[in-house]
A and B are shown apart, each in its own frame.
Chain A
């Protein structure tokens, strides 16, 4: 398996380089350093000297890919591409355009992101699987048809609607929890409970419907019928026979997401003022702080690739027939 993992990591390199080159072209060719300088320095009393100073200070005055004025390896290392993009491979994210250390910001914000994303993810999966199995129990009945139409309705409603209605009814009208915010420590649960519930509710429609479809495929197979024929209770059939046999497609959709939980949720964190990585990215986009955006895009691709590798590994755990060669 180790060889397999190493090989996958090796395959990941060209993907990461591709992502890197693409983002680099977007940030430095489409949007020139001068554009960035003007955006950051504002409109008032900005001189050409100030613009060139800004560009020089950020190291954006080097050539893009090849420095003809340098010699040897320096021709490649004294370029914007090397300093701003290739260094990301060493997880050297550098400093944001406002001067803060990006690595330190990312580690500060990972906690709040995880505090929101992890319970939403874990409880959400558990709820979706339970609901799907319950509906499966009444397959073909009116209850089943009603449940499916409810799932489709829930899927069709915008995520923002859940957030706004939730905030308005639970936090503003009922005054049960704070409208938004975040506190460290145990007190943090009061701020997280509402976004977590909203996240779970908003995901039930799509999640439960998808799991139901997976379970239907498995429930029609011979071993399920045999289990029932042997007198196993319906709950026993569902949880001991159908669920484990539907694990592969579940893992395909679920494990890949796990590493990206660190990246947080753009929308949820913004509406609930949770100082996580999702809102970090959104703030950076708004402020045109491309140093942060570049770092976050790179981190996102690394985590996604990690998720894909983890998914492959999880197959061997879920299905002993699978071997990674």
Chain B
């Protein structure tokens, strides 16, 4: 080949390389997708750590797993307050109360056990998976005895044969046994061992039986509280009465795992290649994972074996107005493929959303934060509104109250702020009045959030809005505006005087009152300054005791804190999941455990009522107990009640059924995409502007050309001598 031809070939190859991927807009970050497949493009900021449903407990993992795994129950997509409905179960579980003889308990008898009977829908199939593949004799095809035998397989795609099988009650039983097996490190093992009969003993049995890392067939070990009735029915026996247990049955911890999959992933050599259950889910849900490179992307594709599932036909008037009922009765899921790309920075994620490359502003979280809020919303007299730019491109806003609370806690064991005497109560109430949470929401959270008046967030049974729900110790009702108004600071000062600290000084010693906030944040941050100002309203000096997180948690466990910030996101939409945060038996110091009562609040009457609330189903008796509990803690003020969170999610105009769910993330199956609009808008919004590029090249030439001229002139210079 001559030199000219070589150059020509090189130039052609370079041009071809550069033009790869330039068929659409130049800035399209997404890989080319099959136009025949309805593809959703999403993103995630935090990489999932665990994809084993028995272990996973974070929302970023839920984004993936809740589309793949199906517990027996699920939440209704549209109904609020949140309502459970069957998923793989045929109907909601039946609960029978039993006495300690395991016979049905009499009506007035306190039940020793609850027997939960779950009946499954027939015909539910697993996604295609090599774990189910069998040879002609019916033996599993991919069971290896040495790592060398399994060496040719590094990804699930490497297995040519895949098969499926019907979901049975054994699979749910197997998963509950996995939960009880300590080797799987389920975060629920402690809690569930307290409820499910025999789980603790089961854990000990399998721990003793496990010799090495080989697969242990959990079917060979019984758990007293689990019983298979038939292929589609099983029972779980739990201690006492715990109606909230059914909410756990809508969480992925209770998703089915076939024993074949557990056996398959224990093949020798698989762990080394990350071929584990923790990395390769296997479910019956609407989607299955076909690519898992969480440092780049995770791809879900429609499960070809997905059961008959249809879009809900019931919803509120507002749902109908927003078009959430337009697809009522249609078969799910609507999309064929979902590509979730990993983003390291929220700003990049936001830019790609506004350029039309991501269908929603965020998937695991809303991605509305301090960096993006101003680009998304303006705060007007009527509250939050979309910016003009986003209005113009018809961005859709969905609002969802997450059942959550973010509060400032007092350590009730502390000699200064803790205690249950009237003066201590008044001190805490005075501080709670001075601590203006609304101001915090406005300044630091762009107005997103709602002041909490008690431990129960909006949307949950027992929450009361308006005057009835107002915390009368800290607020007064304004008839004119029909809203709660914070009591004046003079009233707080009066309470402080009655507490023994007139004008912020100890009445006996005359020393100024100095309080300490234990935190991991720096004490010179804007929020820290703001906290100090709130306390300064009462002439109380607030000092920050900053430590790293492990030390902070240690101090919390030992009760060596005074004031701290804390939060709680609901596991399930029931007031019990918030009231237990103040149950003394959960007290960090009292129980010498990792209890959830971080302020060490201890009130026997509250505990008594908590037991009633925990055992009763919703009804007047339960509601009365809840109201009493709220009244008790409002008076005692162990927390500055803080705020309940709210989320705003944005979607591009081609995304439909965008309603969010505050508890469940398994909503991808309801989402519908119009690919044609997306394609059209992506081209319209992303035509490249080459002027700056040409300008830069021009500037470079403007520097180089005179330089070359100067060099040439210099080369021609001669020395003149006389």
A residues contacting B by CB (< 8 A) are: 31-32, 35, 38-39, 41-50, 53-54, 57, 98-101, 104, 108-109, 134, 137-138, 143, 167, 169-183, 186-187, 189-191, 233-235, 269-273, 275, 279-280, 283, 287
Contact = CB atoms under 8 A, between A and B. Distances in A.
Contacts of A48: 593-594
A134 B714 CA distance: 13
B693 A176 contact: yes
B593 A47 contact: yes
Contacts of B344: 180, 269-273, 279
Contact of B190 (A47, A269, A270): A47
Contact of A50 (B20, B187, B271, B351): B187
A45 B191 contact: yes
Nearest to A233: B715
Interface in B560-593: 571, 593
A44 B711 contact: no
Contacts of A191: 29
A175 B26 contact: yes
A180 B711 contact: no
Contacts of B549: 39
A287 B50 CA distance: 13
Interface string B323-356: 0000000000000000001111101100110010
B524 interface: no
Contacts of B273: 101, 104
A116 B22 CA distance: 20
B502 interface: no
Top 5 closest pairs, chain A to chain B, by CB: A47-B190, A178-B29, A35-B550, A275-B295, A180-B348
Contacts of A279: 295, 344
A53 B351 contact: no
A186 B182 contact: no
Contacts of B345: 180, 270-271, 273
A174 B189 contact: no
A149 to B, nearest CB: 15
Interface size classification for chain B = 35 or more
Contact of A234 (B58, B274, B715): B715
Nearest to A135: B707
B692 A187 contact: no
Given A178-B28, A187-B21, A275-B295, A38 B550 contact: yes
A180 B279 contact: no
Contacts of A53: 182, 185
A72 B278 CA distance: 38
Contacts of A173: 689, 692
A46 B190 contact: yes
Contact of B189 (A47, A143, A169, A235): A47
B133 to A, nearest CB: 25
A104 B187 contact: no
B17, B50, B348, B352: residue with the most chain A Cβ atoms closer than 10 Å: B348
B692 to A, nearest CB: 5
B343 A176 contact: no
Interface string B447-463: 00000000000000000
Interface of A (DSSP majority class): helix
B49 A38 contact: no
26 contacts: A42-B58, A45-B191, A45-B594, A45-B596, A46-B190, A46-B594, A47-B190, A50-B189, A98-B49, A99-B276, A100-B274, A101-B273, A104-B273, A169-B692, A171-B27, A172-B351, A173-B692, A175-B25, A175-B27, A175-B688, A186-B17, A187-B31, A270-B344, A271-B344, A273-B348, A279-B295
Contacts of A190: 21-22, 26
B31 A45 contact: no
Given A53-B185, A143-B710, A180-B345, 17 more contacts: A41-B187, A50-B185, A57-B183, A57-B185, A100-B274, A104-B273, A169-B692, A175-B27, A179-B351, A183-B31, A186-B20, A187-B21, A187-B31, A189-B18, A191-B29, A234-B714, A283-B47
Contact of B187 (A46, A98, A189): A46
B397 interface: no
A75 B550 CA distance: 30
B4 interface: no
A42 B47 CA distance: 16
Contacts of A31: 550
B541 interface: no
B106 interface: no
B667 interface: no
A176 B49 contact: no
A175 B355 contact: yes
A136 to B, nearest CB: 12
B401 interface: no
B57 A98 contact: no
A45, A48, A49, A275: residue with the most chain B Cβ atoms closer than 10 Å: A45
A319 to B, nearest CB: 29
B279 A100 contact: yes
Contacts of A186: 17, 20
Contact of A104 (B50, B185, B189, B272): B272
B21, B342, B686: residue with the most chain A Cβ atoms closer than 10 Å: B21
Contacts of A57: 183, 185
A32 B707 CA distance: 62
